[in-house]
Amino acid sequence: MEIALRLREPADDELHFAMQADPLQVATTVPARSRADFDAWIARIAADPSVTLRTITADGEMVGTINTFLIGEERFIGYRVATRHWRKGIGGEAVRLMVQLDVSRPIFATVLASNVASVRALSRNGFVPVREQMSDDGPEVVLRLG
């Protein structure tokens, strides 16, 4: 299976919206956006030159989405893989490809401490835990690359 990143196309938004509304994904990340909120959010980040937004493909088929973005002066990474494709090595490979594409450092990630797969996908790519914090959804770990 060949994992790659390509530019996001508007047609990708349907799967992206469905992924973020999937209860299994909500359980490890943030609450789902309404359709109107999602459409406004994706239009905003797609037009923001400080955001690097990519679609993850496996053998040419969209299987997820990944981006880096600024919060204040700090750059963060975020990503999703469609639930039916979990545990095939896609998330870890997508993080590896994104930190090759976006060479800015440091890059941070904020992950629920219970999100073992995400912590693992980051750690295998050199991210190290730098602090823990409490969120409304439970304890989070902040990891840093570079």
Q: For ligand COA, what does the binding mask look like between residues 83 and 112, x meaning CB under 6 A?
A: ---xxxxxxx----------------x-x-
Q: Output 22 or 46, the one with its CB closest to ligand COA.
A: 22
Question: In sequence order, what are the residues at sequence separation of 6 or more whose Cβ sits closer than 8 angstroms to the Cβ of residue 110?
Answer: 76, 133, 140, 141, 142
Residue 78 Cβ vs ligand COA, minimum distance, rounded to whole Å: 6
Residue 33 interacts with ligand COA (CB under 6 A): yes or no: no
Q: Taken in order 114, 120, 122, 128, is the CA torsion positive or negative?
A: positive
CA torsion angle for 7, 64, 139, 133 (degrees, to 10)?
-10
Q: Would you say 52 or 91 has its CB closer to ligand COA?
A: 91
Q: Of 107 and 121, which CB lies nearer to ligand COA in the complex structure?
A: 121
Tokens 């690097």 sit on residue: 52
Residue 30 or residue 49: which is nearer to ligand COA going by CB? 30
Query: What does the alpha-carbon distance between residue 36 and residue 129 come to, in Å, rounded to a whole number?
Result: 35
Using rule CB under 6 A, residue 115 touches ligand COA: yes
- Contact between 29 and ligand COA by CB under 6 A: the answer reads yes
Does the footprint of ligand COA cover residue 124 (CB under 6 A)? yes
Bridge partners of 80? Answer: 65
Name the strand (E) or helix (H) holding 120: helix 116-123
- Residue 141's contacts (CB-CB under 8 Å, 6 or more residues apart) are 110, 111, 112, 113, 119, 129, 131, 132
Residue 114 lies near ligand COA (rule: CB under 6 A): no
Binding residues (CB under 6 A) for ligand COA: these are 25, 28-29, 78-81, 86-92, 109, 111, 115-118, 120-121, 124
